[in-house]
Amino acid sequence: MTDKIGEKQLYKKLKSKFVGLGDADTQRKEFLQNVKIDTYSTLATHDSLVEHLSVTFNKSKCLVKQDLIEKIAKS
């Protein structure tokens, strides 16, 4: 019984920390949307990834970061 309570408490803690965690009722579309938003936010907040994308797209870092933030807002 305490294992179930501990698991529920751990799940609630992780759910509050990671919003896109989902549960048994999460739809596929909602899950993919959460993954997309998490990916864009990770890319936008890590400077080395922004630099890599700026070289790839041949744009300045500011423009790449702005594009990623706009994609997050549109999602």
- Nearest to residue 52, comparing CAs of 41, 65, 39? 65
Q: What is the pLDDT of residues 21-39, one digit of tens each?
A: 777 777 888 888 888 998 9
Fill in the DSSP letter of residue 18: -
DSSP symbol at 20: G
The reported pTM is 0.70
Range with the lowest mean pLDDT among 8-12, 17-21, 38-42, 53-57? Answer: 17-21
pLDDT confidence band for 1 (50 / 70 / 90): low
Q: What is the mean pLDDT of residues 48-60?
A: 95
Q: Domain boundaries in the chain?
A: 26-75
- Supply the pLDDT for residue 57: 94
- Round the average pLDDT of the chain to a whole number and report it: 87
